[in-house]
């Protein structure tokens, strides 16, 4: 199973493709220097296969590489950051979840 995460700025979301099929997305609002994650969804057929975690990790890595910060309004992204504290540095306010 090959997975690819791409930013789709026109749709305001990071998308994960599994074997060239759209398997999920992490929606966001772009603000100057800040990405506000609002909602993450994985298609039911792909749940339990690490698709959501791969999407979160690679989306956060892309945000980090751009030099942007994160507001994690999305519970999935927030929980991912809680489980992977090396991403806490991306949070606009690390002591505030949303």
What is the CA angle 47-55-36, rounded to 5? 120
pLDDT at 93: 81
* Residue 48 to residue 62: CA distance in whole angstroms: 23
Helix (H) or strand (E) holding 52: helix 51-66
**Domain parsing of the chain, residue ranges:** 3-90
The dihedral through the CA atoms of 59, 80, 33, 42 has a sign that is positive
Pair 54, 3: CB distance under 8 Å? yes
CATH 3.40.50.720 fits 3-90, yes or no: no
Tokens coding 76: 């999935």
pLDDT at 88: 96
Q: pLDDT tens for residues 1-22?
A: 899 999 999 999 999 999 999 9
CA-based nearest residue to 27, from 65, 67, 97, 75: 75
Q: pLDDT tens for residues 40-95?
A: 999 999 999 999 999 999 999 999 999 999 999 999 999 999 999 999 999 998 55
On whether the pTM is more than 0.85, the answer is yes
pLDDT at 96: 53
């Amino acid at each position: 199973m090959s997975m690819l995460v791409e930013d789709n700025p026109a749709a305001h979301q990071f998308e994960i493709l599994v074997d060239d099929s759209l398997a999920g997305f992490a929606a966001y609002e772009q603000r100057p220097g800040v990405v506000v994650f609002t909602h993450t969804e994985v298609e039911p057929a792909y749940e339990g296969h690490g698709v959501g975690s791969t999407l979160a990790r690679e989306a956060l890595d892309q945000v980090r590489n751009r030099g942007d910060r994160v507001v994690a309004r999305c519970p999935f992204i927030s929980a991912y950051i809680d489980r992977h504290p090396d991403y806490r540095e991306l949070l606009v306010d690390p002591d505030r979840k949303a």
